[in-house]
Amino acid sequence: APVSHCNAAIREERWKLYWPGDETSLKKDSTRDNPSYLRGIVRPHWEMPLDRQLDPPSTLSQPAPRLFDLEKDPAETNDLAAAHPELVQSLLRKHDAWFSEVVAEWRQSRERILEHDRIYWRGRETPDPKTLFEDFWQWKFAVNKTDPRTANPLTLFRGFWNDGEED
């Protein structure tokens, strides 16, 4: 899901407001993304529905934004946010208005994709989880060194299978 004020920037004339983001928000969720992708590379015609579980917006506090004067400081080395709080607030409001539109469009697009998946997978057999997660590197991070030969990956890893037809 998109994360506001994380690895984002907005420019207005000579000014740039930049949010660097925190490490947790920038980290890719490999546990969910990799198995289907990797199977698609090595198995012809491998298909997997989109993960329907939508994470809530991040509640992690993001680092404070940095303000740069690109005419005087094109290398962005001198943070002027404390010296120009009114400009920071103005750019922040513009960014937040834009970001609200992005999230709304993202949710609409995602719903269309999910509806397509629901129709496509209706009446089809769910892919075998043992095949999907076979040799999956994330097994080593499973709770209590779970044995991949006996554990059910559907209960260990998040995915489209966890929450039925609802989103």
The model's pLDDT over 70-113, given as tens digits with 9 standing for 90+, comes to: 999 999 999 999 999 999 999 999 999 999 998 889 888 888 88
Look up the CATH number of domain 8-126. 3.30.1120.10
The model's pLDDT over 47-75, given as tens digits with 9 standing for 90+, comes to: 555 555 556 566 677 889 999 999 999 99
Whether the predicted pLDDT of 22 surpasses 70: yes
Between 20 and 44, the higher pLDDT residue: 20
Q: For residue 53, give both structure tokens.
A: 């579980």
Do 6 and 62 touch, CB atoms closer than 8 A? yes
Give the pLDDT band of residue 163 (cuts 50, 70, 90).
very low
pLDDT of residue 81: 98
Give the pLDDT band of residue 33 (cuts 50, 70, 90).
low
Locate the domains of the chain by residue range: 8-126
Q: Of the ranges 96-110, 114-128, 136-150, which is most confident? A: 96-110
Specify the DSSP class assigned to residue 139. Answer: G
pLDDT of residue 139: 63
Task: List the 66-69 sheet strands across, edge first.
Answer: 8-12, 15-19, 66-69
Q: What is the mean pLDDT of the chain?
A: 76
pLDDT of residue 127: 67
Q: For residue 155, give both structure tokens.
A: 């209960």
